Amino acid sequence: MATAADRSGDDPAFVFAGGRPSLDLVATLGRRHATPVERIPDAAALARWFVAAGLLPTSPAVSDAQLMRARRLREAISSLVRSVMSGSPVSGEPLAIVNGHAMRPDLTPQLVLEDGRPVVTTAPGADVASALAAIARDAVRLLGGPQAARIKECEHADCSLLFVDETQSGRRRWCSMGRCGNLVKTAAYRARRQPPGG
Ligand SMILES: [Zn+2]
């Protein structure tokens, strides 16, 4: 399975900063606090996303109904994550949507040999439903486990990307330094150099 770093050049529109497939699906609707950016505007984009995310080895056929289901799952996960982060009550509808997908058969991991070394791939025949099930199960394990307390939102005002802070210090602030950290630091530097009243 390709790593996030290997995949980053595939499609510049997609972001994999979350550290978990469930958070990366939520990231397909970006800039939620400004003018939202839809990164899966059509079924073909969702098919590309599944491959870029490393969930499916080849682009699946995606119907418009499946695109709608994926977006509904995305918003359900987003709603649950934000409830957990803010400590507010979790509502039943997003819970039912996530659990409904999690009940379906998951992707099947398989070992294949590359240059004599075992690498993980997804068994042939994996489809959109099983990829969505894998994402929903990831959300279930994430939100029900200890890492739920480590979910953060990028501190850039417009950026709404969520990630699991796996640093030992627990001080990660940005989705990535390159995307947002440098932007904020440059803006702060410029503001400091501005003469009073200027
Ligand atoms: Zn960011």
| The pLDDT value given to residue 197 | 55
- N-to-C CA span, the chain: 52
Hey, which CATH number is domain 4-193, 2.40.33.20, 3.30.70.360, 1.10.3300.10, 1.10.10.10? 1.10.3300.10
167 CA to centre of ligand 1 in angstroms: 17
150 CA to centre of ligand 1 in angstroms: 16
179 CA to centre of ligand 1 in angstroms: 6
144 CA to centre of ligand 1 in angstroms: 25
| pTM for this entry | 0.86
| The pLDDT value given to residue 196 | 58
191 CA to centre of ligand 1 in angstroms: 20
Phi, psi (rounded to 5 degrees) for 5: -65, -40
User: From the first residue on, what is the mean pLDDT of each consecutive set of 10 residues in the chain (198 residues)?
Assistant: 43 84 97 92 96 92 97 98 95 97 94 93 89 98 96 92 94 89 77 65
109 CA to centre of ligand 1 in angstroms: 31
57 CA to centre of ligand 1 in angstroms: 28
Domain map of the chain by residue range?
4-193
